Structure 1
C-alpha cells in the first residue's frame, strides 16, 4: 500500500489529490517463498511455473490499470496493462457502506461513474469535509457494494477514448487480486489506501527527512513521490533535480515517481512532446527504480528498445529475498 502524506498535488485537470509516499509491494504466489493461496478463496489458477518478475530494469507500474486506454481501475484496464507488459498493477482502495473493499480512486462517484443517471440515488448526495475541504457529491461510503455494482464507470479525461464508457463495473479488491493471480506471469500488486483519516498526516519535509527514512527502511522497500517534487518545474521547464533519489537510495529505498502520461499537456516542455524522451530522462539521468504510468504499453515498448535483455547476474530472487526479510523482521516484533 502507499500511505498518503500532507503535501497536496494539483494536477493538470485542476483536481486536488494527496501524493502517496510510502509503499509496500506484494509479489503474488512467491511472497515469502510460499505458494499458499490468499485469505480469500479466489476463483483463479495456481501456476507454479510462471515467469518470474523482472528486476533488471525499472518497474513498469500500471497506474490504475492501462487507464490511458480504458476507464481507470476496471478489470479490462488491468488485464490490458498486464497484456502490455506491466510489472505491477496499482489500485486505490476504498470501503463501502457495508465494509467491502473496492478499487476506486475518488471518495466521490461523480467524475468517473454514471451515478447521476440513477433516480433511486438522487437523495444520496452529501457534503462532507474531506481533508479540510467541504466536498459535495455522491460518496462511496454511502453506498453498499450491491448498489455500487449497478453503476458503470467512464473515462476521467474527455480527451481520451470514450468508447468504453458505460461498459464496465466497479471491481472489488478481491477481484483485483484475482486478476493478478490469473496473469500468465508473476505480476505484483500495488494497493493504496485512499484518504486514511486515522493515519497521522505528515508534511513533505517530515516524510523525506533522514530520520524518517531511517525509520521506514525497516518495513518498507521504497517511496513513491510525485515526480514534480523530485525534479521541480518552473514555467513548465524542469529545474535542478533534488537529492531525494540519492538520499532514498542511501537507505536502500527504491523510488517510484508518479504519474507518467503521454499527452502533451502532461509533458514538460523539455521533452518536446515525446514521452520516450521523458522515460529516458527519468530512468537514465534521475535514476528512478520504477514509474507509475497511465500508458503501460508505451513504457514497455521503450524498455524493450532500451534494455531488452537482463544482465548475466540479474535475479528476481534477490528482490523476493529482501521483501521476505523485511516481512519476517516485522513479524518478529509482534
Structure 2
C-alpha cells in the first residue's frame, strides 16, 4: 500500500533559499524539520571529505575570482565527460576552506544568490556534527543521506572513497547506527566496499533515467548494464541482497508527459523488499514535468502540488526537496490512503 508520509530529505540542505551545501542551507533545513539532510562528498588533495555536489567547483564557489588559484584551472575527464575548471583534488583542505559558497543557479534563484560568499565550504565532519547537535537540541532523530561522488575516478587518483568515508564515520560516531544513516551512490562498487567494512547504514543505489554506471563501464565497457535495465524487474532481482533500496529520477516514477499510466517501478521494488527514494522535488517551472508548468517563466512556481501528490501516492519511501518547508507541508500531510 502507498506510504502516506515519505521521508523528507533536505537536498544539499535547503538550496531553494540558500547556496547549496552552505552552513545556512543546512541550518534552515534542520529548522524546517526535515527527516534527514543530504551532503554530497568529494575529496581534497590531502584526503579530506569535502561537501560539494561536484569536484569541479567553479559554479558553486568563488574560486574563479581568486587570483592565487588562477593557475589551478585545468581540463579533466571525469566519468567520461570532459570538464574545464577548478577541481577539489587539486587543492588542500586548508585552501578549500578559504573559498566562499555561491548559488549554483543565480538567475533562477536570485534570492539565494544574495547570500553568496558569506560562508565557507564545509567538510563532511562539519555536517555530521551539525546534524547530531540538531538531533539533541530538537529531541528527535535526524538522519544523514550521504552521497558518494565519482568513486572510481577518485580511486584511480589514490583517493579511495570507501576507506576515507569509513574512517570519517567511525571517528565522528556515525558508523554504529546510533543515528539514521543512508549511504548512496551511482556506483555499486563503492557501496559494496563500505558494506563489507560493516558500516551500519541503509545502502541505496542511485539510478539515472539513462546512461550506465561508470564503475561498471570501467570494468566491462559497452557490456555494462544500463541504469534503465537495472530498473526493470529482472534488474531489481539482481539487486536483492546487495543493496537496501534504489533512488531514482522522478521521471522514472511519473511516466510520460501526457498523464500516461505511471510506471510500476515503486511497486516492483517494494515487492522485492527494496526501498525507493526519488529526486528532486522542486517547485519551479523549469524542473516540473511539462504538464504541471504554469505561466510566469522558468523561475515561477508551477503546479508543483499536483506533481508531488502523484509522487506521494506512488508510495515512495523518501523524497529529496530543495524547499523543505513546502516539501514537509505536502509530503507530511496525513491523508487517507487511496
TM-score by length of 2: 0.70
Indicate the residue corresponding to 1:44 in structure 2.
Answer: none
How big is the shift at 1:101?
Answer: 0.3
Residues 1:76 and 2:24 aligned together: yes
1:171-186 alignment to 2 at 5 Å?
A: 171-183=122-134, 184=138, 185-186=140-141
The one of 243, 253, 276 equivalent to 1:230 is 253
The one of 188, 192, 197 equivalent to 2:147 is 192
Counterparts of 1:253 and 1:90, CA distance in 2: 20
SS in 2 for 1:182: helix
Indicate the residue corresponding to 1:66 in structure 2.
Answer: 14
- 2:41 and 2:148 in contact (8 A); partners too: yes
Label 1:238 to 1:156 Cα distance change in 2 as closer, same or farther (>3 A). farther
How big is the shift at 1:56?
Answer: 6.6
SS in 2 for 1:242: coil
Counterparts of 1:260 and 1:127, CA distance in 2: 32
Indicate the residue corresponding to 2:47 in structure 1.
Answer: 99
In structure 2, list runs of 5 or more residues that go unmatched: 156-214, 218-224, 295-301
- Residues 23-49 of structure 1 show CA distances to partners (whole Å, capped at 9, x for unaligned) of xxxxxxxxxxxxxxxxxxxxxxxxxxx
Indicate the residue corresponding to 2:326 in structure 1.
Answer: 298
Label 1:71 to 1:308 Cα distance change in 2 as closer, same or farther (>3 A). farther
Indicate the residue corresponding to 2:67 in structure 1.
Answer: 119
The one of 228, 244, 249 equivalent to 2:265 is 244
The one of 73, 85, 88 equivalent to 1:140 is 88
Residues 1:278 and 2:288 aligned together: no
SS in 2 for 1:298: helix
Q: Number of paired residues? A: 252
Q: Which 4+ stretches in 1 moved above 4 angstroms? A: none
How big is the shift at 1:219?
Answer: 4.5
Residues 1:288 and 2:312 aligned together: no
Counterparts of 2:318 and 2:29, CA distance in 1: 15
- 1:73 and 1:103 in contact (8 A); partners too: yes
How big is the shift at 1:268?
Answer: 2.2
Give the CA RMSD over aligned residues: 2.2
Residues 1:131 and 2:84 aligned together: no
Greater percentage in helix? 2
Indicate the residue corresponding to 2:241 in structure 1.
Answer: 218
Counterparts of 2:335 and 2:264, CA distance in 1: 29
Indicate the residue corresponding to 1:205 in structure 2.
Answer: 228
- 2:250 and 2:279 in contact (8 A); partners too: yes
How big is the shift at 1:211?
Answer: 4.7
